[in-house]
Amino acid sequence: MCGIIGVAGADDATSAVLLEGLSNLEYRGYDSAGIAVGGDEVEVEKKEGELSALKRALAGRTLDGAVGIGHTRWSTHGPPSDENAHPHTDESGRVAVVHNGIIENYRALRDELEAKGVSFSSETDTEVVPHLIAEALDAGADPESAFRRAVERLEGSYALAAVVAGTDAIFAARHDSPLVLGIGDGAHYLASDIPAFLERTRDVVYLDEGEFAVLTPGDWRVEDELGEPVEKEVETVEWTAEQTGKSGYDHFMLKEIHEQPKALRQCLRGRVDELEGRITVEELDGLDAPEEVHFLACGTSYHAARYGALLLQEAGVHATAFLSSEYATSLPPIARDTLVVGITQSGETADTLSALRKARGRGVETVALTNVVGSTVARECDHVMYIRAGPEIGVAATKTFSSQLVGLNLFVEQLLADEPRNRDVRELVSALRDLPGQVQEVLDESRADEVVEEFMGAKSFFFIGRGVHYPVALEGALKFKEITYEHAEGFAAGELKHGPLALVTEETPVFALVTGDGENARKTIGNVKEVEARGAPVVVVTDGESDAERYADSVLEIPATHERTVPILANVQLQLVAYYMARRLGRAIDKPRNLAKSVTVE
């Protein structure tokens, strides 16, 4: 959610490096920004609003020092304001802290500090931390020990970084919120996400739960909670800073929609044998077919989880998709032979990590399906399968959702490879081989921009589908509401008549997913007729195998293909529908209001 950047020993002015890092983290979602530069004194500047407001406040000023930290805040405690923006300081201004996460016991700590005469200047939970550090300094502790003492008192989730006047070091710690170090040539960095410093180094060190780090201009080290040194592997990130740019597209979202053919090829590479008609996911070798599977996910990933559960159910496996937030707080019965699969693009989604940890506490085997190498979920689960979509900067997930659906097809076939109930997969392999090219065909020929023009001013938008199209209808509605800010809902097509039909009017466009010519298609056409009879305009996304277009006001065409891959093509059309409507409405497509890319609070 919030973004953190830190630098020790910058070649350029420290404030310039921090602003560059914050610019690279704008995609995460935020409502204020600030920096603190340390040296003999700590200088702080922070502003409500976009990063441009902070840059204006710094115009004509260069803050330079040996170390510095910066932050983009996504509000949890207290509304967006200059006072609530990070970094936060103690009363004397000698300590500055940035923080991602939530300090759950902040109220008790604040009451204790206020009883001692400490004055607070913000409504945030974070501000207790610099005051606790200052209290330890006043008691005679050195800066590193003071930082550790403060952290020991915290309950909740945190990625913390602090600078102290007179000390050329950044002190950092993580618990349930990601931090990564960037190891440069003479300069070292820390951040909540790699793009913050990717232009300066691709060598990284991932902090694990409970670890502390100290960065100085010439050195870095990591220690455990007891202060013992931890040997960390320096890894090299495969992608480059250029891959996180817009490459000439107006928005990251549009770029990433158009990157889907490449992303799907990357997901499939080395896993699909067309000659043998086999699917092999080497990282899942030795994973036995379970009697039951629980999928855990949030948001877009939850829609992928529902799709994965349907695939397993069709193969005779008892599979259920759970919202991670509900699973974590209302843990269902879990048999020892249950396989629990966490799906999270970032690998840092707090609700999903919490749910997986509770499942692991029951002794079950876990699998992570994620996009980010070295993420927390990848390190904590027993097995990990990467979807290989490449960096996704736009807040609204696009190419990662398509890659999750493809990845789930591979996962299911690997899981059931030795099961007699598993049918021949040659047709699926052929469809997967053709899929990237078919996605490109949809991108090249889509009429989504023309279609949305017909519905400017509509009051609400419905998306309907059956079977494997139902999760895509849910995702289509979510994508639409995320970036257009217009009301949209996804429904199982057969459920319209059980209540939602009361909302259908001439101002309620209905997007219906109708492919093939089987029972699901015929019944969905029946549902199309229901809304047509109420005067609702209808858009069908179809492969032309049925006569659905006869009942539609507009048609978005997709190629005919396997029943398991055709929803991926339908999804691309719905992504374009959302994008073009949001663009016509003038929305902030890459940074939708109130949302963040990586949701690291529960």
Domains of the chain: 3-242 (3.60.20.10), 245-440 (3.40.50.10490), 446-589 (3.40.50.10490)
Contacts of 222 (CB under 8 A, 6+ apart): 181, 205, 207, 211, 212, 213, 229, 230, 232
Please report which confidence band the pLDDT of residue 411 belongs to, taking 50, 70 and 90 as the band edges.
very high
The residue assigned the tokens 């109930």 is: 421
Which residues on neighbouring strands pair with residue 312, listed in sequence order?
A: none
* Cα 297 from Cα 476, distance rounded (Å): 17
| pLDDT tens per residue across span 101-110 | 889 999 999 9
* Cα 266 from Cα 173, distance rounded (Å): 34
Higher per-residue confidence, 10 vs 365: 365
The residues annotated with a catalytic role in the active site are 2, 597
Q: Is the pLDDT of residue 94 over 70?
A: yes
Please report which confidence band the pLDDT of residue 601 belongs to, taking 50, 70 and 90 as the band edges.
low
Q: Is the pLDDT of residue 426 over 70?
A: yes
DSSP letter assigned to residue 238: S
Percent of the chain residues topping a pLDDT of 90 = 70
| pLDDT tens per residue across span 18-64 | 999 998 887 766 889 999 999 899 999 999 998 999 999 998 888 88
Q: Is the pLDDT of residue 382 over 90?
A: yes
One-letter amino acid of 415:
L
The phi, psi pair for 313, rounded to 5°, reads: -60, -40
Q: Is the pLDDT of residue 1 over 60?
A: no
* Cα 509 from Cα 507, distance rounded (Å): 6
Rg value, the chain, Cα = 25
The residue assigned the tokens 């410093």 is: 197
Q: Is the pLDDT of residue 79 over 70?
A: yes
* Per-residue confidence (pLDDT) for residue 183, from 0 to 100: 94
| pLDDT tens per residue across span 199-233 | 899 999 999 889 999 999 989 999 999 999 999 99
Q: What is the pTM of this model?
A: 0.78
Which is it for the CA torsion 471, 379, 319, 435, positive or negative?
Answer: positive
**The three-state (H, E, C) secondary structure of 110-159, written as one string:** HHHHHHCCCCCCCCCCCCHHHHHHHHHHHCCCCHHHHHHHHHHCCCEEEE
Average pLDDT, the chain: 91
H or E element at residue 35: strand 32-38
Mean pLDDT across 153-175: 94
CB 141 within 8 A of CB 171: no
CA separation, residue 329 to residues 156, 324, 354, 359, 602 (Å): 16, 9, 9, 11, 11
Q: Is the pLDDT of residue 421 over 70?
A: no
Mean pLDDT across 2-13: 89
Q: Helix count (H) and strand count (E) of the chain?
A: 17, 26
H or E element at residue 170: strand 170-175
Which is it for the CA torsion 257, 259, 262, 268, positive or negative?
Answer: negative
Q: Which two tokens stand for residue 517?
A: 């010519």
| pLDDT tens per residue across span 362-376 | 999 999 999 988 888
CA separation, residue 424 to residues 229, 430, 473 (Å): 52, 12, 28
